[in-house]
Structure 1
Amino acid sequence: MGSRTDHVEGDTALPAEVDLVVIGGGVIGCSAALWAAERGHRVALVEKGRIAGEQSSRNWGWVRRMGRDPAEYPLGIASLSIWDGLRERIGAETGFRRTGVVYTAATDREMAWLDRIEGDAERFQLGARRLSRADLDARFPGHNLGVRAGILTEDDGRAEPTRAVPALAEGARRAGATVLTNCAVRGVETSAGRVTAVITERGRIGCEAAILSGGAWSRLFAGNLGIDLPQLRVRGSVLRTDPVEGGPPHAVGTGRFGLRPRLDGGYTIAKRGRSPVQVTPDAFRLIRQFLPGLARNSGELSLTLDRSAWDGIVTPRRWAEDAETPFERCRVLDPEPQRGMLDRALRDVRQAFPVFERATVAERWGGIIDVTPDGVPIIDRAEALPGLVIATGFSGHGFGIGPAAGQLAAELAVGGATLVDPAPFRLDRFGAGHTRRTAA
């Protein structure tokens, strides 16, 4: 079972017609629904299970600009500004605090990465500060990090995923959106080649546009529409501790672990280094697109064989709009956490910060991350199906940039200016044919 998430009760009435349907109640979908509803658009936010039931509540909770792919920096900068005013905007606690993010480096490779992100920080004016070993000693008294240097962005921060995403959904509802839970979208209806409605398990909702923000399910949904979406799944594992006094005030990322302070006084902890890519039939279908990234990040990615391989074989890839879909058979992806990986992460944290010797584990959970071949999200209009916007593949970076990414998706859906240039997030960057619609 995933980390405990604030409950959002779905509305009972299905609207006959709206301007925009948002498919998926994670951070991207909720942010898109909030922005569009606040601007007077009629919005339906439709979630097959519960709001923030999957990766949007299972992530680390970092809100950072530093250490991203250059394409993501504008979204990170815009999102940090949105996070700043979000609590007042929606009238609810999100857990957002600007408590700073520190990355450290121990190896030559990590030092080179530190040099790169320091250059990025200067380019994007992030106010990053290089930390010597003496600086680290002063900032983390009694630490045993065993690193050569670090870098700090004091304005970056963190938030509470289990509170923030449900709060976004409730904010969207107060702004006029309909929020539907346990209501899977089965497909879309078109007229003259353009989206005119979505078909849910509870009935039809007429609309002028739709956003697909289905996280790890997006490839399957898009495939039923004949859209080839290059996306694989990575399995993540996270734990949280009970309150720890005297722990690090910042979120910290080393070559071995990542941690962040929580609003309740505890810490969220995960293993950094090698992320397990699930071996599924899609992994073989997409090997050409993903092979360069797998080779480039061979030290950070590994392959794992679990029940997802069988699930991928038996899950239907095509279905009719009046038939039960895979989204109704599995409302929430809830993988078991990898206990050995989490035990190693906690050991590494205790070695680096002796204050954690007294820490007790309150909860462990697993999650499924949607990844693209280059690790950069897709936020784009589907050229083959006008009226549909795809926002997926956030590759483990989505929570922090979620507010701006959701707004960008909504802006693309309703038309008009966008807060950042959407060009780096185009689907067709992966090669010809990925926006071609084929017969379903």
Structure 2
Amino acid sequence: MTGRTTDVAIVGGGLVGAWTAFFLARRGQRVTVLEKGVVGAQSSGVNFGNLRLQGRFPGQYPLSLRSQALWEEFEALTGEDCEFEQSGHLYLAYDAEEHARLESYAEVSESYGLAIERLEPADLRRRWPWLGQQAVAATFSARDATANPRLATPAVMRAAARHGASVRENTRVVDIGRSGDGFTLALANGETLSCGALVNSAGAWALEIAERFGETAPLFPAGPPQFVTEPFPYLIAPSIQAIDGSVIFRQIPRGNVILAGYPRTAADPQANRAPVPPAKTLAAMRALARVAPVLAQCHVIRVWSGIEAYLPDMIPVIGPSQTTAGLFHAFGFCGHGFQIGPGVGACLSEMILDGGTQTPLAPFGIGRFRSATQVSEKFRKEFD
């Protein structure tokens, strides 16, 4: 059995693992990323690519704003292009109740310094005349953006490697144990890896690590149904979302429309599958036609999903273990991890190297789950 050592081992080669490796390696740490498949193949690579600021959980705004600043410097940091487009995000409300919810989102966003533009139906007709006429109100955030999830994580991981990180794909961890003040990881190929600090960014598989150290969370998997249409002349600049969650869509410069439909679909982490039933495609296209009738005749040319990890409070776990010094968790991003990924990686690197971070992370501690709380059937059905 071959043994190696590293300062920090990161289990999970998604966007959070990549950014954590990047910031640690940039500060001279020996970092090893262990990914059971290929980098960015799970939720980090199959999501909508939304870098939305408005409408987030209030306690997430300091982290979210820090992350957006890093996205805005993506090319300078990594030396690569991720198709970052700061074209804004438009939220649409269709009745008085949704309008009130939209206003609540706007007030919270503004309290953290985000500029929110409130729009009436006449404003919508003037600026986006191809939208349907049913919306009663909207809000627009110009700083919101998008990026290509297929490009982003591999680019960050390559940048981490250029700073000296070791990135090991197709490398499965089969056992993890305490070794003095650090950890020893057994790999499926018979190797062992010793490290001083361990980052658990294993996505839907993260509980396998947390539970080895006496911690748990009511984590469950689900898949985000995603669709892309044939290309048509470029028309739509911002991302557009119905606030009821029925549809979100954007057009890329090549002309294709990317859309996501809700509710999510069932996922099986063991089989590594999250198939999208045909009925979800039809539902997504109906929702798209309501919001933008001009797109009603578009043809879907590809459908996909992936495996995301969810928690009942829709708030991720980020921060140090409550039972084991040197262990740090980052999982359960509930479909919102793409935007905050850079900030999470920066914060984890600071916690590991400096003993703490200035970015508030109190709401995200794993200690809020003292036992494996059962997920209600009502909540689960929202993801079937």
Deviation of the 1:261 alpha carbon: 2.5
Residue identity over aligned pairs, in percent, reads 28
1:201 equivalent among 162, 176, 188? 188
How far apart in 1 are the matches of 2:87 and 2:119? 16
1:63-212 to 2 correspondence within 5 Å?
63-192=51-180, 194-202=181-189, 203-212=191-200
Is the 2:217–2:372 contact (alpha carbons within 8 Å) kept by the matching residues of 1? no
- Secondary structure of the structure 2 residue equivalent to 1:402: helix
SS of match in other structure, 1:207: strand
CA distance in 1, matches of 2:250, 2:61: 21
Of 348, 368, 371, which aligns to 2:307? 368
Pick closer, same or farther for the CA change 1:417–1:385 going to 2, 3 Å: closer
Give the unaligned 5+ runs of structure 2. Answer: 374-384
**Kept after mapping to 2: 8 A contact 1:211/1:413:** no
- The aligned runs of 1:422-433 (5 Å cut-off) are 422-431=361-370
Q: Normalization by structure 1: what TM-score?
A: 0.79
Could you tell which deviates more after superposition, 334-343 or 66-75? 334-343
CA contact 2:250–2:259 (8 Å) conserved in 1: yes
| Contact 2:94/2:135 (<8 A) preserved | yes
Q: Distance in 1 between matches of 2:253 and 2:183?
A: 43
Distance 1:149 1:131 in 2: 6
* Distance in 1 of aligned mates of 2:151 and 2:159: 12
Letter in 2 for 1:335: A
Deviation per CA, 1:384-412: give whole Å up to 9, x if none: 12111010010110001111112212222
- SS of the residue corresponding to residue 264 of structure 1 reads coil
SS of structure 2 residue aligned to 1:223: helix
Q: 2:331 aligns with which of 392, 409, 412?
A: 392
Please list the CA deviations of residues 102-145 of structure 1 after superposition, one character each: whole Å capped at 9, or x if unmatched.
11111233112101111112201100111111111122113215
CA distance in 2, matches of 1:370, 1:190: 26
- Whether 1:230 and 2:200 are equivalent positions in the alignment is no
Q: Hey, what does 1:377 align to over in structure 2?
A: 316
- Code of the residue aligned with 1:204 in structure 2: it is T
1:295 maps to none
**Is the 8 Å Cα contact of residues 318 and 361 (structure 2) preserved in structure 1?**
yes
Matches within 5 A, 1:279-318: 308=268
- Which residue of 2 is the match for residue 337 of structure 1? 276
Task: Give the RMSD, CA atoms, in angstroms.
Answer: 2.1
Measure the CA separation in 1 of the matches of 2:372 and 2:229. 46
Map of 1:220 onto structure 2: 208
> Partner of 1:210: helix, strand, or coil?
strand
Cα deviation for residue 18 of structure 1 reads: 1.1
Name the CA shift for 1:384/1:50 in 2 (closer, same or farther; >3 Å).
Answer: same
- Secondary structure of 2:227's counterpart equals strand
Q: Distance in 2 between matches of 1:58 and 1:263?
A: 19
Select the residue among 210, 234, 237 that pairs with 1:249: 237
Q: What SS does the corresponding residue of 1:220 show, helix, strand or coil?
A: helix
Partner SS, residue 141 of structure 1: coil
For residues 297-316 of structure 1, the C-alpha deviation after alignment (integer angstroms, 9 at most, x for no partner) is xxxxxxxxx8x4xx8xxxxx
- Conserved? CA contact 2:174–2:187, under 8 Å: yes
Mapped to 1, the partners of 2:54 and 2:130 lie a distance apart of 26
Partner Cα separation in structure 2 for residue 227 and residue 251 of structure 1: 38
Cα deviation, 1:172-225, whole Å, max 9, x if unaligned, reads 111110110000112223134x43332222311111101000111112332244
The 2-side partners of 1:217 and 1:270 are apart by: 24
CA contact (8 A) 1:22 1:212 kept: yes
- Corresponding residue number in structure 1 for 2:251: 261
1:1-49: CA deviation from partner (whole Å, max 9, x where unpaired) = xxxxxxxxxxxxx982111111101111111111111111110111001
What letter matches 1:206 in structure 2? S
Distance 1:225 1:359 in 2: 50
Which amino acid letter does the alignment assign opposite residue 215 of structure 1? G
2: CA distance between counterparts of 1:433 and 1:219? Answer: 10
Q: Distance in 1 between matches of 2:350 and 2:214?
A: 24
1:213-254 Cα shifts (integer Å, max 9, x gaps):
011111233224432232112232111123231432100110
Identify which of 342, 349, 365 aligns with 2:288: 349
Match of 2:32 in 1: 44
SS of aligned partner of 1:18: strand
2:360 aligns with one of 410, 421, 426: 421
| Structure 1 residue 432 displacement after superposition | 6.8
1:23 to 1, 11, 23: 11
| TM-score, normalising length: structure 2 | 0.90
Q: CA deviation at 1:373?
A: 2.3
Q: Residue 19 of structure 1 aligns to a residue in which SS?
A: strand
In 2, Cα distance between the equivalents of 1:427 and 1:45?
22
- The answer as to whether partners of 2:214 and 2:323 remain within 8 angstroms in 1 is no
